[in-house]
Amino acid sequence: MRILIADHTTDLRKFEPGLAQIGHEVRVAIDGLAAFRLAREWPPELVLARVDLPRMDGLALVAALQALGQTRPGALTLAGPDGDLRSRTRAQQLGVESYLSLPVEEMDLVRAVWRAGCSPSSDTSGR
């Protein structure tokens, strides 16, 4: 699976080596604008982004990717402070599948990746 991680800290980027080790192709951007540009050149199957990205926050990134038609169900996961209800609500309105609380727990990330990989539009088994 092609995974784009957008994070200016190590909260999500720390998972890059493990995701790559189990066979995912992972690219990293350190701000929202760089993530948007990278997604246009290299369409990801899953975007893992922080809400508070510099230059273009995670919510604006999601909206921009959707405007390009580059998202599918389960393809968007945002991470932000647990108590940020405004961002969590806006993420739901935008159709974000998963909103992970910071700091991100490994099992929460695994679930988000699994959901993205197992959504009906990515099932290539013919079922």
Q: Which amino acid is at 93?
A: Q
- pLDDT tens across 22-46, in order? 999 999 999 999 999 999 999 999 9
Question: Could you tell me whether strands 25-29 and 98-101 are parallel, antiparallel, or unpaired per DSSP bridges?
Answer: unpaired
Of 27, 81, 24, 83, which Cα lies nearest the Cα of 58?
A: 81
pLDDT for residue 116? 84
Q: Token pair for residue 73?
A: 């169900």
Give the pLDDT confidence score for residue 118 in this predicted structure: 63
One of 3.40.50.2300, 3.10.129.10, 3.40.220.10, 3.30.1330.10 is the CATH number of 2-122, namely 3.40.50.2300
Mean pLDDT across 7-28? 96
Residue-level pLDDT at 69:
83
Structure confidence at residue 74 (pLDDT) = 62
